[in-house]
């Protein structure tokens, strides 16, 4: 009887630390802009929600921002935080808007293992929206970085 009781207590302890609760703790990370899923769904298109809130990826070569060469600033499509300057944009040939650097302090970083290997993931530092990934195969004459960003996660604001 004592063994059964010990087993039940252990089972209860392990069940109190489920992956759902761990995910809730991760979501609790503090951002300046916090909205519920239903609030995000009201202000974002389906594709924007998929990329920004579910860490999805848009099809390559599908964003008109990929070939945008107008001077201006690329903002987060969810919260309007300025993220990248047009002067740091380059054509990487990958099918996604690419930049050699971010606006310092406005992009946060994490790691994802969704493809079975580690990649440096980029998020908006203000709302936590998924932007894309950063790689070390960018222009060597500048930073050597390639910030490979989903165009649907961006809103372009032309210079005046």
Active site members: 148
Those residues whose C-beta lies under 8 Å from the C-beta of residue 130, and which sit 6 or more positions away, are: 51, 52, 53, 54, 55, 56, 121, 122, 123, 150, 153
Measure Cα distances from 6 to 12, 13, 15 in Å.
10, 11, 14
Q: How far is it, in rounded angstroms, from Cα 42 to Cα 158? A: 25
Q: Which of 103, 73, 99 is nearest to 88 (CA)?
A: 99
In terms of DSSP H, where are the helices of 35-136? 37-43, 46-54
């Amino acid at each position: 009887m004592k063994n059964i009781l010990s087993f039940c207590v252990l089972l209860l302890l392990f069940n109190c630390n489920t992956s759902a609760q761990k995910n809730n703790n991760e979501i609790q990370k503090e951002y300046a802009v916090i909205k519920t899923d239903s609030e995000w769904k009201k202000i974002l298109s389906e594709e924007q929600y998929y990329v920004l809130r579910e860490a999805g990826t848009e099809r390559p070569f599908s964003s008109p921002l990929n070939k945008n060469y107008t001077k201006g600033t690329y903002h987060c499509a969810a919260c309007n935080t300025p993220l990248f300057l047009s002067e740091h944009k380059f054509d990487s040939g990958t099918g996604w808007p690419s930049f050699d650097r971010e606006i310092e302090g406005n992009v946060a970083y994490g790691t994802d293992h969704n493809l079975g290997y580690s990649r440096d993931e980029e998020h908006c530092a203000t709302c936590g929206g998924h932007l894309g990934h950063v790689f070390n195969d960018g222009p060597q004459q500048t930073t050597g970085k390639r910030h490979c960003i989903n165009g649907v996660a961006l809103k372009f604001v032309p210079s005046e």
